[in-house]
Amino acid sequence: MRVGVFDSGLGGLTIIQAITKIFKGAEIFYIADTKFAPYGEKTQEQILQHSLDIVDYLLKTHQIDALIVACNTATSAAIKELRERFPSLIVIGTEPGIKPAIEATLSGKVGVMATPATLNGNKYQLLADELSCSNSVELIEQACPGLVEQIENGKTKEDKTVSMLHDWLKPMHENEVDTIVLGCTHYPLVSDTIKEIMGAHVKLIETGCAIAQRLKALSEEQGHTNNGHLEINVFSTGKINKNMINEILENWKDGGEIMVRSND
């Protein structure tokens, strides 16, 4: 099984980390699109065209069988078109985990941290309106411009990053939010700081495990036996922080191989 995965940077590796725990017998081709990052500050049209270009490259160069759009922003902008253009391809998107957050909250107050493009996207708005209204839950939304860049540069613990998180989380703390949706694949990389600010009791909802399970299930439907070696190939379109790659995947004990390459 050959699986293509892309994100605007290294955030999607949090999904790869979840995949390594349950998925075997595959070769993964991950593209960190650092040259075009951040997606969250691009137009919907720009993100759609860029997503189509990346998938075209993955199909022609690596003959992928499955695609994971490891980015909430790109999913919102492109997932419908990708499924229509490539009907023979397994296509899995990434969406903010509002539904599991609603199921987990005890206070009825759910925080949503995401990029501006995700929060402004029609896909997110429809999902949020439908679920919050039908479940009588209040969503406290917070756009986090600049956070992806801090994480990409390995500045997860720096004073500036912590200060940004304090400012964004203050309204959630004041509103007694007990569950927070991490609506960007980068954000789990600052989950420790979020817990320090909000308190250890806060529940953080990310989507890596659900995506990994979905990939496993859909692949097995097509005959994948899910055993054997796993290889991860990491490509970047621009500068990449290799230390962050090692940090994100440091707990991978499968014995497989990680190859890091840069290309245009």
The catalytic residue positions are 71, 184
CB 32 within 8 A of CB 9: yes
Assess contact for 205 and 97: CB atoms under 8 A.
yes
Contact 29, 3 (CB under 8 A): yes
Query: What pLDDT does residue 48 have?
Result: 93
Are the CB atoms for 159 and 54 separated by under 8 Å?
no
pLDDT class of 100 with cuts at 50, 70, 90: very high
Predicted pLDDT at 120: 84
C-alpha span between 19 and 101 (Å, rounded): 21
What is the Cα–Cα distance from 54 to 46, expressed in whole angstroms?
A: 12
| Residue-averaged pLDDT of the chain | 89
Q: What percent of the chain has pLDDT over 90?
A: 61
> Is residue 95's pLDDT more than 50?
yes
Q: Which of 74, 169, 76 is nearest to 125 (CA)?
A: 76
- For the segment 225-229, the average pLDDT, to the nearest whole number, is 89
Domains contained in the chain, CATH given: 2-94+208-262 (3.40.50.1860), 98-205 (3.40.50.1860)
pLDDT category at 117 given cuts 50, 70, 90 is confident
pLDDT at 133 over 80: no
pLDDT for the residue numbered 256:
54
pLDDT at residue 264, as a whole number: 44
Given this model, what pLDDT does residue 258 score? 57
pLDDT tens for each residue of 142-167:
999 999 889 988 899 999 999 999 99
pTM score of the predicted model:
0.85
DSSP letter string, 123-186: HHHHHHHHHHHHHT-EEEEEE-TTHHHHHHTT-TTSHHHHHHHHHHHHHHHHTT--EEEEESTT
Mean pLDDT of 81-90: 96
Say if residue 108's pLDDT is above 70.
Answer: yes
pLDDT at residue 243 tops 90:
no
- With 80 as the cut, is the pLDDT of residue 226 above it? yes
- In the prediction, which pLDDT does 194 show? 97
12-26, 96-110, 233-247: the lowest-pLDDT one: 233-247
Residue among 120, 140, 241, 107 nearest 186 (CA)? 241
Rounded mean pLDDT, 185-212: 94
pLDDT, tens digit, 9 for 90 and up, residues 30-82: 999 988 888 877 888 999 999 999 999 999 999 999 999 999 889 988 999 99
Backbone φ, ψ for residue 239 (5° rounding) = -65, 145
